[in-house]
Structure 1
Amino acid sequence: MQAEQLLKLVENELDERKAHQVTILDVRGKTSITDYMIVATATSTRHAKSLCDYVVEKIKENGLQPLGLEGELGSDWVLLDLGDVVLHVMTGQAREFYQLEKLWSVSGDQQSRQRV
């Protein structure tokens, strides 16, 4: 599956499961770790874990396996590594504190799109 197809699959699942403030960061050329990072806000720690669980279920239905999952129930930041796409699901408080979008954006080079 191409990176863009995987990105769309994850984005659709997050939309279906009511993730908030979904931001897609195109980090190609900035890191060799992944092509895209998705940052989404969850309403609670349980919601954060559930969002990642649903994404894992959906990608497995499409014949893929996640490379890693960090953060368990009760964590305010859950990271799901899908190779070409890395998903960060955070509570609002954690997202405000860590500000990943600022970390990965270069002044004048905002290669992201946000869906509220």
Structure 2
Amino acid sequence: MDIPTLQKIVVAALEDIKARDIEVIDTSTHTPLFDRIVIASAESSRQTRALAQNVQDKVKEAGGEVLSVEGQDTGEWVLVDLGSIVVHVMQPAVRSYYKLEELWNTTAASRRAATSR
């Protein structure tokens, strides 16, 4: 499955269950491990798990593959690895603490600065 199609499926699956603050970060020029990170917030551990499960279900229905899922035990931060896209569903306090958006934006800015020298 191509990345734009997979990304649309992921975002739609998150929107179905009312994820908040969905952000897609293109990481294709920053790491060979994956091409996108999708980050979304959920209000509770129950919603976090439901969002992650809905992403898995919708991707499988579309013929995609789920490589792994981590964090379903606590539900504070569930990671769904789809290969080219990694989905992070986080409760607001966890998202605020780890600041993945800032980490990837800093990484991108640092690499741009390093390559322009």
What TM-score, normalized to structure 2? 0.88
Q: More strand by proportion, 1 or 2?
A: 1
Equivalent residue for 2:106? Answer: 106
Q: Secondary structure at the match of 2:30?
A: coil
**Structure 1 unaligned regions, length at least 5:** 110-116
> Root-mean-square deviation (CA), in Å?
1.4
Uncovered stretches (5+) of structure 2, i.e. residues with no partner: 110-117
Q: Which amino acid aligns with 1:87?
A: V
Does the 8 Å CA contact 1:45/1:73 hold for their aligned counterparts? Answer: no
Matches within 5 A, 1:75-86: 75-86=75-86
Q: Highest CA radius of gyration, 1 or 2? A: 2
Q: Deviations over 1:9-68 (max 9, x none)?
A: 101111111000001101111011110000000010111111010111111111122011
Determine if contact 1:28/1:34 at 8 Å carries over to the other structure.
yes
What percentage of residue pairs aligned between the two structures are identical?
A: 36
Question: Hey, what does 1:70 align to over in structure 2?
Answer: 70
Distance in 2 between residues matched to 1:7 and 1:78, nearest whole Å: 17
**Aligned residues, how many?**
109
* 1:67–1:81 Cα contact (<8 Å) kept: yes
1:108 CA displacement? 8.2
Task: Name the TM-score, length of structure 1 as normaliser.
Answer: 0.89
**What is the CA deviation profile of residues 62-94 of structure 1, one whole-angstrom value per residue up to 9, with x for unaligned ones?**
112201100114331000000111000000000
Q: Output the CA distance in 2 between the equivalents of 1:104 and 1:75.
A: 23
More helix by share: 2
Distance 1:68 1:108, change over 3 A: closer
Kept in 2, the 8 Å contact 1:46–1:73? The answer is no
> What code does the residue aligned with 1:68 have?
S
